[in-house]
Structure 1
Amino acid sequence: MCRRNKHCTPKTYLQLSVYGSSVESTTHIPSVSPTPPTSNNSWSRDEGLPSHISSNNGLDNSLRSSNNNINNNKSKRKTSSEIEAERMTMYKCIISSILESETIYLECLDVVLQYMKALKATLTTSQPVISPDDFSTVFYRIPELHAAHSSFLKGLRQRTGVWDSKASVGDIFKTLASKLDVYAQFLQNYQRAVETVRRCSSQSAQFADITRSIKLRSLQGQAQSLEDLLHRPVARVQKNALVLHDLLKYTPESHCDHEAIKEALSLTQNFLTHLSMMQTEAMFPILIFIFLVLDKLKTQDRPQRHLVRNSFIVELVEGHRKLRHLFLFNDVIVCAKYKATGRAEKFTFEVKWYISLHDIVVLGENIFEAVRETSPPNLVALKSQASTVRDQIKRQETHSELKVVNRINLSRGEKRRKKLSELEAQLILASPNLPLRIGKRNGVTHTFLLTSEYERDQWGEAIKVLQANTPGVGGNSLTLPELQNWITAYRSFLKTNMGTFLLKSNRDESLLLGDLHIVVNSLHGLTSPANMFLCFEVDSYGHFFRKAKTKCSDGIEPHWNQDFIVELEGSQILRILCYEDNSKEGIQLRGKAHLELSRTWLSGSLVERRVSLQDLVLVLSLKFLPPEATLRGVPSGKPSGLFGASISQVCRREKRSVPFIVTRCVREVERRGLNEVGIYRVSGLASDINKLKKSFESNPYEAEQLVKEVDIHSVTGLLKLYLRELPEALFTDELYPRFFEAFSAADPDYRKTTLLKLFTSLPQLNQSLIVYLLEHLVKINRHDNLNKMSLHNLATVFGPTVLRPALKTKTPTQEELLTASTVDVMAQAGILHFFLKRRSNEEPIQVVQN
């Protein structure tokens, strides 16, 4: 086995080879180093290193240049027998490395097959580990892959047991290549299989324990997860092509294997080309490796073009927002506009501009002024209009269920749906505000707007990786007609990310509206202490928005115990991003996951989920409350006479037990104000409070959006203002003196009993509103370690607002006013503190009357 050349041993070959097992164990490759590390082995490229041997997983210059010309002078000085001996040495090294690598790969498939059989046995029991559907998805085509490679390895061992220069192995490789349809089926299902493994791991602790750490003999007991093992066939596909390329290089045309290996290589190359067209975003960044393999195998003078990343995006053109589609290929970035057609596909792309890969410059945000727009969109007004139309559609549908549907109602409904689609299209343009600036070296700069920092970083990372590892195509060799024809011709093959709203024809009922409650518990799987934090994003109007961020938690098993309320507006996906804040290396992304939000598993009570974040597991709980459960719906009645109107008038008009303005302010405070220092004690801006007041009195849809935009202290200021301007305090003018007298009593038992009886005597609407506010204030107090608002502080702020004496007809003296106000304020705070304390201790605040 390769004994003539001291550098060429199977072990060395495996360490250097793309085909070797060391690369296969690299399951998730976040990015590629811009400068590939050099090999420690003394065998350099100048000594004829085979093309699929690489010092950095096949991503060094050996993938971009041939070494054939380097040895021409040396070869002329060698005899034909010496050349043949060297060829045979290399040929044996390649075959030996294949045998060793194939043995490891087959063991991986063996182990997966064993786990498959073990889990299958539980399907017929009363408590299966996973469902039959999940079982079929996870292990799809594993038996067929195992059979194909078992036959391949057995045949190769038999043929190469005794070395012979005329021994034939080409038909074995051709047979394996002919079974690539099994790989195609596996790869088409791969993303579903991985998502199923992650979902099952989060739902079943038993499944997670079984599949988290699987040890292999050939890897010296190195632990692999089931997800790692499922990735093996993905990595294997690209390696097959490279080893066939090298076998063909060291197989003379006169040899009987030459044609068979050539056919096997052609089959594999065609398969990879088709794969690169059909699979894009789901398998990034592994596709970059496939693209580089294809570039190595190319027969043209320049690399084949492959789509790496694409998405709809908003471009700022001369101060105006334009909807665009951005395509990043391995040699060029192309920006196209959507062009409507009358055909079935509804639209096509018209190329607006392009930049050759190595002419692209991603510009930093800090070197530019703020984005300037000619007519900035009014996001609040657009969301308000969309909410109005959406509620009109909902009310019409409810009305239609009770009465006969006529042609007029149908026509009106269609017009409203069309109007909603138009508003949502405007929201797609209006929502993003994070700039991504891409320029041409020494040329024009293009500004894009995104909503997610993660998305912006991914575009920059993709360009960086490609520029570091892909040969560029010069600007003069690219033409706009060529790129236009390419995109047009291959449009049906391009799996483009169009976003939630761009392709829908009508309202999709699976989209969620309401509140998502997230309780973040703990993170598991770290091998050493680390400072970790999490970010949560949800999609809305086709874009992802960051909605929540945890504090940093340090340790080997970080715990947060934080809860968030995330508002869902036509949402389908929760994106979870896990970061490590390292003092030396900065902030690094450690893992990410997508949770599909669905009513099938979300409910009104907390559901615990274990979410796989690559090699980490996050434990969290979620629940979903629709608008009707949160008192969130905007009232249908006219809002005139809101401030200064009695509770009974407002509730009767809005048909609810708690006024909309109260529930909306409380929800907003609980969404983003629980940890705010001095919440309810710090004053808000008077201008913002007045703006909110006018909005709630004239257009509650606009008010619902505006309350999300202003400072949180302005929201609390509005709530306090509304309660102060009630014509009668919540504890009523009639009962206030009796509350005051009961609180002043010396006997604590009498005081308690009397206060509880008096509370029960309040009107029912007043009781409902007070209980609602008490529960809210108790929730505020549970975060007093951060917001510094004790129950006493909250009682001091709200006491004079919800308890106050009736206005007297006789004008009191200044001294009487001072004395009365001091005594009253102390009593008002004390009375409210009494009820807050009982509510906090989960004690009853009402007396059940017989």
Structure 2
Amino acid sequence: MEPLSHRGLPRLSWIDTLYSNFSYGTDEYDGEGNEEQKGPPEGSETMPYIDESPTMSPQLSARSQGGGDGVSPTPPEGLAPGVEAGKGLEMRKLVLSGFLASEEIYINQLEALLLPMKPLKATATTSQPVLTIQQIETIFYKIQDIYEIHKEFYDNLCPKVQQWDSQVTMGHLFQKLASQLGVYKAFVDNYKVALETAEKCSQSNNQFQKISEELKVKGPKDSKDSHTSVTMEALLYKPIDRVTRSTLVLHDLLKHTPVDHPDYPLLQDALRISQNFLSSINEDIDPRRTAVTTPKGEKANKGQSRAIERLKKKMFENEFLLLLNSPTIPFRIHNRNGKSYLFLLSSDYERSEWREAIQKLQKKDLQAFVLSSVELQVLTGSCFKLRTVHNIPVTSNKDDDESPGLYGFLHVIVHSAKGFKQSANLYCTLEVDSFGYFVSKAKTRVFRDTAEPKWDEEFEIELEGSQSLRILCYEKCYDKTKVNKDNNEIVDKIMGKGQIQLDPQTVETKNWHTDVIEMNGIKVEFSMKFTSRDMSLKRTPSKKQTGVFGVKISVVTKRERSKVPYIVRQCVEEVEKRGIEEVGIYRISGVATDIQALKAVFDANNKDILLMLSDMDINAIAGTLKLYFRELPEPLLTDRLYPAFMEGIALSDPAAKENCMMHLLRSLPDPNLITFLFLLEHLKRVAEKEPINKMSLHNLATVFGPTLLRPSEVESKAHVTSAADIWSHDVMAQVQVLLYYLQHPPISFAELKRNTLYFSTDV
């Protein structure tokens, strides 16, 4: 899902402010440390809207949402739940060092903007001036003052961060910075005129045009790039963005500063001043917002804060559901006039239902009828009203009063099928729902030329709030001439489909439960049993330390004298060789018996591993890799760092988040880090084939996030209270942590280890 940028948008209502929060960073990186030039959109005459609700971000975990980070400057009491004072102060250091890095870049940008000002002023009094004094003062209005304010702030903050002491105080620096926001008010008031003047001068003066199109910005101290080229328009936008950035940092600092720390009241005051400033700026931009954003009285403020918190929480849930359940299965409808319409569905089951419904309608003799002009006008008017007034809510397909569903693992054995009229190449797929959205989870092998297939294949399917199991039976098509025009794929024919409810009382037993599902005259026999989330959360160390499953990754790599465990390298190599274009790779479960067979071979270090891998179904190999990470005695990203990952992904300021997330990677043991980076690059290569395999970075993060981060049993008890909490809190954050790294430019082990102070970037 692309982030929504608040830059250059039309004047917004207060609820739109929430949506504008999806983009805090205003610059992007190309992977080589070069900043892309991004100012306000060309031709935009809209006054920039400054984000005044700085706590929401796409990566905000549900854990932080309960912390009271509303628009009201009242942070949570004490430190975040479960975080010791020492860890909180360490996070405080990471937030500050990340902000310091971005502050250095900001000062360099202001310097670059000021660089041409002196020579331009010098020529203004000559016979051939480039610009007049008035034009210069309009374009560079208050830039010198802003530069001096931030240079002083940086010079005072830098030694405090570099010579860190847990009792260090810097709240007075932020308080002073906030007290000087009047300079920014003057800059913002002049911003539109400054842009217009710069544009007019560029059009009328070639010399100034060349200057304004390529200003050289000095790179950070540790950067390999000494300078980058940025336009004047882009640089003039930086101060507007900086106010929001400073407010985000204040939220993050308060979140990780003990209430009894001397900085706490100073930071609180700085945050109050900053938020009042942002509110006043936005009221000047659009006076209509005043009635909504500035209610009278303390009671109104508290009510507004609670309302916004509820909206943020709901929006976060909706965004995450969209992220996880974006439909990918194409369904095209053609009309008689030659036009066609493409819909994306989440499940082949739904696509089949649509086809059947349309075919029934086509068989009916639908009579044409004529509408009068008045009737046509009423009809179109109603449609327009529906389109503009009736907003379909973006929510789960589940009703609020429905049961929460099952969490854990469903073991399913697909035995056999009867009722086919003739022999065919047959297979079945299994779908389960996750909060009302269905996704394919398993696929049997193709049983060739038979009317009575006997698969007897077992699958282990992870359930996340699931209530239904669907079984679809297909006839495999090997005819390459029957290619679907919609997606250039050969479409197999659905012979039958059926659905059963997962009754907790029926499936939550230790014994197998056998059942038969009927579909279009076809009967499929299957068995199932369920393992609860409480049982599946356990990471049990192996008693056999000579194997690889359930053995610490450091022990395995030391024994093998390798940087990445052999099992990881071989499974990845095989997937990239013949499974990278497999639809649903890593999401579709392999046959459980095949996975167990591969597990036994790897544990025994059998010489026939390579031969067995080459003959094994690719989903079983992918499943073996997932099982290896799931059965590690502690997660790949370690129990020790788990709370910090949860805190880091919840940070609001992009620079602080970047600094924290890179610091956490550096803190991993080398075998864990090297293996993680190896897996990360593999998953990115898998996602490059998304048009074919339907596995986006989001899908892969959903599959691997909990596997790589889920704590061992001891840690789990500290962070998990119920099955619903697992999904709505930790699992969401686990997915977001992995997604953050997947969406990040390539991370080099050597580069990561070299940057020990902070990982500086302008996010």
* TM-score computed with the length of structure 1 as normaliser: 0.28
